[in-house]
Amino acid sequence: MRNFIFWRKTLGAALTVALLVSPWAGSARAEKIDFSKVTCEAFEDFEEETMTMFYFWLDGYVSAKSGNTVFDTDGVEADLTELLKRCNANPKTTVLKVLGQ
C-alpha cells in the first residue's frame, strides 16, 4: 500500500509537470527567463503556471548544487510556502540569493 501511494504521488507530480510544459498548456508562450535575475517580487507576481515551472527548475538547481537527488513530493507545498515567506521578507532580493540564505 505504501509503495502504491508513493507511485501515485510521483505519477501525479510528473503528470503536472508534463501538462505545464506541453504545447497544449493554457497560455504557452516562448519566453526566456534569466533565473539569476528574478527577484522575489517578480516571482510572487508570476502566474501560477510560471511559478510552478520556476519552482521545479529551482528544485533541480538546488538539488544539483547540493548533490541531493531525492524529490520529496510531500514537501513541495511546505518548501514553496517557506520560499514565499522568505521572499515576502526580502522582495528586492533575487530568489537564488534567498535560497542561499
**pLDDT for 91 beyond 80:** yes
Mean per-residue pLDDT for 41-59? 88
> Regarding predicted confidence, which is higher, 30 or 58?
58
Q: What is the mean pLDDT of the chain?
A: 78
Alpha helices in 1-101, H assignment, sequence order: 2-21, 40-45, 48-66, 76-89, 95-100
Q: Work out the angle between the directed axes of helices 2-21 and 48-66 (0-180°, nearest 10).
A: 120
Instruction: Report the candidate in 43, 29, 47, 33 with the shortest Cα–Cα distance to residue 91.
Output: 43
**pLDDT for 97 beyond 60:** yes
Are the C-beta atoms of residues 45 and 88 closer than 8 Å to each other? no
**Per-residue pLDDT reduced to its tens digit, 13-49:** 554 555 455 544 445 556 788 889 999 999 989 888 8
CA-to-CA distance for 19 and 44, rounded, in angstroms? 22
Alpha carbons within 13 angstroms on the beta-carbon side of residue 45 total: 7
CATH class of 2-100: mainly alpha
**pLDDT for 92 beyond 90:** yes
> Regarding predicted confidence, which is higher, 86 or 21?
86
Position 88 confidence tier, pLDDT thresholds 50, 70, 90: very high
Q: Is-above-0.75 flag for pTM?
A: no
Which grid cell is 46? 508570476
Are the C-beta atoms of residues 71 and 59 closer than 8 Å to each other? yes
CA-to-CA distance for 11 and 68, rounded, in angstroms? 20
